Chains A and B, each alone.
Chain A
């Protein structure tokens, strides 16, 4: 049934497209690239409700993160940490399942400045990225791209099953046109720059 429909649809599409002159592809969209990608990312991400934290260079990053998570409101006791977060970036807090965690800790593949997006591969486990009320994301040094297009072009070569672009907290204005956060996904989205 589906196979017959495939042939039928393809034949109809081919007939329709054959009857019309082809329009050429206009090429790449020219969009501006900020000189300082990190600075541009911080501006865009925070203006969409995302938060940015700077790791203390004087302390081991995992230890810094432990302190950071303890200071979050409400205080985080159990965390869910993505498997690809290297040992030195993992907080010293009890690890629990994502659905029970006060915060999820992920490692971004990179970030895009023009859209203010964290680029999160599915290999970092999606539950960690989505279920806890706060999502804390390590952004590796030198991985902030000026433009999302540049990031996607590079990512294309190593695409995992799914990629999430997170550009701020979960929000909705479906009730009474009032913006509420944390509707389904994390209500706080925190990018950590080292």
Chain B
């Protein structure tokens, strides 16, 4: 984990405020894009027995995770039988070293990449660039962010926080495009640069949506065709895959391809799906001569061992929970300070990084439950957030004032006489008096008018008789 990561996560409350106040275009762009995605998901779910599919997918993923050792071993055996090489990385540093040594072994000078969250997680691009290797992000959104040197803000639409105008200015500045070009013109400008990169690069690097144990298949979903090109044209293909991405059988894959697409964009399936078994073997196959699969732990076994958090490993990285989340919509992903943002980030990051490192993300939720309704694998995100909050309280990771206030509430609320007295005093103090007595209300008053206590409590009205 980069040194400044902790600081970035820790500052969630202030950073989110900064984004909302100082860059209002982000809120507007993210809200618009996520609502559109969310409506497409609802439409996509409505066309099938979504509840049945989601229960099925939850079951398959939970089955796989509770038998993960078996399926990992099976995938490894099958990939090797297919002629692919399998590598194991315990952490981000080792994953980077493996990819770097593969690049050296295959004399790689230029790399094309498909959009992959795990390569963001292991911070791969800076390592490749430091070794003098040219790196091209080929997903259009990722390419925009690479030009801007920004991390992705959304799992699916990494640049959803950017307006058309911002992309126009960027492409004019960096690619010499005509000012004010429409999206079609801008996309063609990017295509020209990236088409050359596809043809000239020696190595393609992708993530993996699924790894099918039975057949040793890395499955990749996309709409642009850049991942098919990345896995087809260069001499070498490296797939960096988290160990939780396993599926037992090819027969399971069909359902997951469809459910992932419906959850993400409402499509019946991604425009392109790549099923990669290994290097080209047939004389007519013009694909890569070497295929490497790097299996990454990097905290996943900690999550798997956790009593509650393990269920977050079912995540398909579809982005549906981000799209449904009213908290995420106000800021986009950058406020969260880590590659996995939004509701899933708030339950996954404490498991991957350690709870102390991921504070206060479990508290970055109003617990509205929209994420759980959207999730294609029914991850109980609100319940998991509460579990992390419990652990944070037990480990003393929350402000002492807050702990004291809640202990005080419990003491008063279990003594009815005291409770009645406190209520009566509150009603006599009025709004500002209550605010002075309860320091946390000061924060509230920064953005809202103070609540007005009723002049007489209900209890008093009751005693006097309600007509």
Are A and B close enough to touch in the complex, i.e. CB under 8 Å? yes
- Report which A residues bind B (CB closer than 8 A): 1-3, 5-6, 8-10, 12-17, 19-26, 28-31, 44, 48-49, 82-84, 99, 114-117, 122-127, 129-130, 147-149, 152-153, 155-156, 159-178, 180, 182-186
Shortest C-beta distance, B183 to chain A (Å), equals: 4
Shortest C-beta distance, B240 to chain A (Å), equals: 13
Does B324 have its Cβ within 8 Å of any Cβ on chain A? no
Q: Please, how many angstroms separate the alpha-carbon atoms of A160 and B284 in the complex?
A: 11
Query: Which chain B positions have C-beta within 8 A of A30?
Result: 52
Of the candidates B190, B223, B267, the one having the most CB atoms from chain A within 10 angstroms of its own CB is B223
Q: Is the CB of B285 within 8 A of A122?
A: yes
Contact of B253 among A22, A44, A48, A152 (CB under 8 A): A152
What are the interface flags for B87-126 relative to A under an 8 Å C-beta threshold, 1 for contact and 0 otherwise?
Answer: 1111000100110000000000000000000000000000
Q: Is the CB of B272 within 8 A of A123?
A: no
Contact of A165 among B73, B275, B278, B280 (CB under 8 A): B275
Q: Is the CB of A2 within 8 A of B286?
A: no
Does B250 have its Cβ within 8 Å of any Cβ on chain A? yes
Does B62 have its Cβ within 8 Å of any Cβ on chain A? yes
Chain B contact-residue range equals 35 or more
Q: Is the CB of B275 within 8 A of A163?
A: yes
Closest to A189 in B: B271
Contact of A159 among B62, B140, B158, B277 (CB under 8 A): B277
What is the number of contacts between chain A and chain B, taking CB atoms within 8 Å? Answer: 267
Q: Is the CB of A161 within 8 A of B270?
A: no
Q: Is the CB of B251 within 8 A of A28?
A: yes
Shortest C-beta distance, B392 to chain A (Å), equals: 22
Does B236 have its Cβ within 8 Å of any Cβ on chain A? no
Q: Is the CB of A170 within 8 A of B271?
A: yes
Q: Please, how many angstroms separate the alpha-carbon atoms of A85 and B63 in the complex?
A: 42
Q: Is the CB of B272 within 8 A of A122?
A: no
Interface-lining segment among B224-232, B327-335, B409-417, B439-447: B224-232
Q: Is the CB of B98 within 8 A of A2?
A: yes
Q: Is the CB of A13 within 8 A of B304?
A: yes
Q: Is the CB of A183 within 8 A of B59?
A: no
Interface-lining segment among B11-19, B64-72, B378-386, B394-402: B64-72
Q: Is the CB of A13 within 8 A of B68?
A: yes
Q: Is the CB of B223 within 8 A of A170?
A: yes
Query: Which chain A positions have C-beta within 8 A of B254?
Result: 29, 115, 147-149, 152
A165-B257, A184-B226 are known; give 17 further A-B pairs, CB within 8 A.
Answer: A5-B89, A22-B66, A23-B59, A24-B59, A25-B59, A25-B60, A31-B48, A122-B282, A130-B232, A159-B215, A161-B279, A162-B280, A167-B271, A174-B139, A174-B159, A184-B229, A185-B229
Closest to B304 in A: A16
Query: Which chain A positions have C-beta within 8 A of B258?
Result: 31, 114-115, 148
Does B359 have its Cβ within 8 Å of any Cβ on chain A? no
